[in-house]
Amino acid sequence: MSLQTECFIVWALGLPVFFQASAVAGFLVLGYLVYYRYFHSLAKYPGPPLASVTNLWKTYHLWNLHLPHTLVRLHEQYGDVVRVGPNDLSFRNPDAVNTIYKAGRQLKKTAFYDGFTTFNPNLFGTQDEEIHAIRRRQMAHAFSLQSIKEMEHLVDSHILKLRKNLDHFSDSNREFDLKDMIAFYVFDVLGELAFSRSFDSQDERSLALLPPVNDHIYLACLMGMTPEALPWIKKVLPFIPIPWLQRLFHARAQLRDLTAACVRQRIEAGNTDRKDLLSSLLVATDPETGSKLTELDINTEAFAMIVAGSHTTSGTLTLLFSHLLQNPEILNKVIQELDLNLSNETGQVISYKALEKDLPYTMACIYENFRINPVFTMPLPRKILAPGGLVIQGCQIPRKTTVFSLNHVVHHNPSVWGKDHDQFKPDRFLGPNSKQLQGYLSPFSTGHRMCIGKNMAMMNILKVLSTVLRNYKMEMVHPEEPVETLSVGISEKKGRLICRISRR
């Protein structure tokens, strides 16, 4: 050892303990930064430098409500594979979607989903594949197309209430917010189909009646973005006296109380001839013990019904009407197709059976709305468990890497959709490769963990769209304003959708 080195050691040991500890901590932090930035197994993948060393990068962009749009820009800058976290990769190519979400147990959900847990992990959030398989089997029949069709008359009763409100605005020649009217309708239908009760929000037309779903999901995603610290975060955050943070926790408590009240009321009603989505859980039994589900188990899944069944459908319908009303030529084509094919529908509400006819242009508009503004815009991360890693888009990705493919990013890949991917163009789904393009859409996710409520959502979308357009003439008050979205993990139209309406 040289004299200079010995002198340095003697000098360092003579420093106060605080400075010694600070020096050690500094070297450790420096070593961490250098390793993850330059020597980690994912260092070869491009991405923002800050993202390579901390997940707080993703947390910040989610916090400012623009994570999906930020990821689109990053992929435009860096290509199809982007490093967006110390151990996270984002993929843009549609082929990656099937690899990631249809690979079965080679990949599993990560601790990100623990941020959503309010009762116990539900069908959406559970990382236990056995529990997921059991619960999905128990709920599958209730959410089947046949079962949803059997409840169509209940949907119709609330579309009639929607029409009553629209008639009021037509007769009074008043401007109104279509976004609110759709939200009231969807929430009431959800209550009817899930719990055999209406929330009567269409009667009251008060925003205070709508569940604070956005705040719950915003909180869940913010916490889940740093999964390695989530247990600590969940213990500490509720006690931080920041007003907006306390609002999010209060919103989650409101949703929890609403769920518990709905379930308790439904249990007390007992077995009835009327079936609803909760019926399957009330009679379900544990395959091993034969015992019925506990009230906590039922609350767990009912909570997911309220969260997933309200905002996603209302957000999709609001954006669909926004794009149609902003494009009169496209709107007129949809109206002409509906008038031609539904001329025998003389009732006040269009039947779902009639909507199962071939309506290519109407469906093209729905597909294009799913593409340009998918509502479910949170990352759906998976951790690779396969011992040798997994090949995704020709890249050998190491075991324990977290991967995801955000639908908003895939849906705005210019190599698939063209340079006009930011424009609403339904005709792209009417060409010779329309089936292939439909296969690239994932508005309800894909694979064995895809959304169980797809049939209910599609019925609502088709019935509301067709009934409104067949019976009313509507226009946006400010058609010059661009259709923009904000994302808390699920997206919605930014601002209001003020319209005028008259009977046809």
Residues 300/122, Cβ–Cβ less than 8 Å: yes
Given a contact cutoff of 8 angstroms between Cβ atoms, the answer to whether 192 and 158 are in contact is yes
Strand 107-109 with 88-91, pairing: unpaired
Cα(163)–Cα(167) distance, rounded to whole angstroms?
A: 6
Gap between the terminal Cα atoms of the chain: 94
Give the C-alpha separation, 428 to 102, whole Å.
26
Task: Say if residues 44 and 78 touch (Cβ distance below 8 Å).
Answer: no
Residue 380 and residue 450 in contact, taking contact as beta carbons nearer than 8 Å: no
What is the 3 state secondary structure string of 67-91? HHHHHHHHHHHHCCEEEEECCEEEE
Structure tokens at 6: 């010995």
Run of H or E residues at 476? strand 472-476
Three-class DSSP category at 45? coil
SS3 string, 247-287, reads: HHHHHHHHHHHHHHHHHHHHHHHCCCCCCCCCHHHHHCECC
**Lookup: tokens for 319:** 């954006």
Tally the residues of the chain.
504
Cα 462 to Cα 467: distance, rounded to the nearest angstrom? 8
Residue 342 DSSP class: S
Q: Is 7 annotated as a binding residue?
A: no
Q: Per the annotation, where are the binding residues for heme?
A: 451
**Positions at the binding site:** 451
